[in-house]
Amino acid sequence: MMKPQRKYFGTDGIRGTVGTHPITPEFVLKLGWAAGRVLANGHGRSKVLIGKDTRISGYMFESALEAGLSAAGMDILLLGPMPTPAIAYLTRTFHAQAGIVISASHNPFQDNGIKFFSGKGMKLPDEVETAIEAELDLPMRTVASDRLGKAERIHDATGRYIEFCKSSIPYDINLKGLKIIVDCAHGATYHVAPNVLRELGATVVTIGTQPNGLNINAGYGATQPQALQTAVVAQQADLGIALDGDGDRVIMVDAHGEVVDGDELLFIIASARHAAGTLQGTVIGTVMSNLGLEQALQQRGISFARAAVGDRYVLEMLQQHNGMLGGESSGHILCLDRTTTGDGIITALQILAISVQTSLPLHVLKQGMQKCPQHMINVPLSCDANSILSSNEVQQVVRDAEQELGRYGRVLLRPSGTEPLIRVMVEGNDAQLVEALTQQIAAVVKTKARDDAA
């Protein structure tokens, strides 16, 4: 069944450049009102949590949302800077109708966005987002003064979430003796992640923990782990943890300074759960997950399937396959046996617990999965991507490449969901062949794109 076409909501809420529609104070004010109207329907006096990351525009949008929700008759609980997954958790524990996150995740500070969690701590159903969009087309009307929503600031939110994170691993796990570098990307985990690790006994060195509203994700974090790699080696640490600006992604670095990405983290957790007899259902990756992950899991008798790129689609497929583990190469990992959404801190804790229980360092744990050589080229477009992908020329060069790769390789051509380009990716066992085939396919795609644009 086709999903309804939505005007504002994407796969992860509403996101864009601050000051450019729809990421403006006027729109966010009305969005708060529209969301309040939909969420309060039939619930009587209702409440919504609002949290944000550390970008400077969060103050402005927090106030706009608060005003809109109050005008719709919703009470508001303000959490301040908090990781996105913390807001999902706290929405459940406060029995709120919804949680709202003001964040653009791994994007630079010039961007911002609004995303919602249901009262169950999960992404809002499509029909609720569609209903909110319908309300946005109506004139804004304020409820009677005696029904206006009240706002209250929650002062113990950080402590509540720290305890939740610690509870995601066995109580007898002690990180004493481990030296860990944690990189918080100057983002929402800056006051949470270091304290979680310290309270569990680790010696913690921090980088990327001095947010000023303008430096979120700038040179630090899960999308730029080079600073962490350097710090781990220089400090002779056991490992490093890099979170993104809103804390739902994590990339780790082993003692040798080597990056351990989301595919490898997913492999380590799935293998440990499988060995313990606690793994349930199919493990879900995406079309971008490395072929080595699929092969390593299959060698262990673990079922694996691929979803479209985006944690929303990973979650949908997990629910369809009765699974509990899924994720993306970017480090957005879903451990549904621990929490309801992607959580960088909780994912990292699962890895640390496995390392302590097995007495194996991260560098050894990742050895069970051998990543296949992978090469990708982004081809810019000024025309329709679908017409290019369906053309005889492109389909033929893809078939030729697949035949040359044989059963130990794959080709993926995918339009970007956020930029005007086609991603050309090839994987296989031979790195030189993989790169050559990627170049060949990209050349044909470029030629076809140029001809179509002419």
Fold (topology level) of 161-259: Alpha-D-Glucose-1,6-Bisphosphate; Chain A, domain 3 (3.40.120)
Using the 8-state DSSP alphabet, how is residue 366 labeled?
G
**Which of the residues 57, 103, 105, 168 is marked catalytic?**
105
Residue 425, CB-side half-sphere exposure with 13 Å CA sphere: 17
Structure-derived torsion over alpha carbons of residues 28, 220, 373, 444, reported in degrees to the nearest 10: 50
Whether 260-344 shares its CATH topology with 374-453 is answered no
Give Rg (Cα) of the chain.
Answer: 23
330 assigned to active site: no
Question: Mean pLDDT over residues 110-118, rounded?
Answer: 97
- Rounded Cα–Cα distance for residues 227 and 244 (Å): 13
The string of pLDDT tens digits covering residues 1-20 is: 345 567 899 878 999 999 99
User: Which pLDDT does position 40 carry in this prediction?
Assistant: 84
User: Which pLDDT does position 4 carry in this prediction?
Assistant: 54
- Where is 179: in which H helix or E strand? strand 179-183
Fold (topology level) of 374-453: TATA-Binding Protein (3.30.310)
* Count, residues in the chain: 454
Mean pLDDT of the chain: 95
| 99, β-bridge pairs | 49, 117
Beta strands, E only, 24-174: 47-52, 75-81, 98-102, 111-118, 151-153
Burial of 343 (0-12, 13-18, 19+ CB in 10 A): buried
CATH of domain 260-344: 3.40.120.10
Question: Mean pLDDT over residues 64-90, rounded?
Answer: 97
User: Which pLDDT does position 418 carry in this prediction?
Assistant: 66
Closest-CA residue to 161 (of 203, 187, 138, 189):
189
Question: Mean pLDDT over residues 337-361, rounded?
Answer: 97
Question: Is 3.65.10.10 the CATH number for 14-155?
Answer: no
Domain range list for the chain: 14-155, 161-259, 260-344, 374-453
- Rounded Cα–Cα distance for residues 65 and 70 (Å): 8
Q: Is the pLDDT of residue 424 over 80?
A: yes
- Rounded Cα–Cα distance for residues 167 and 106 (Å): 26
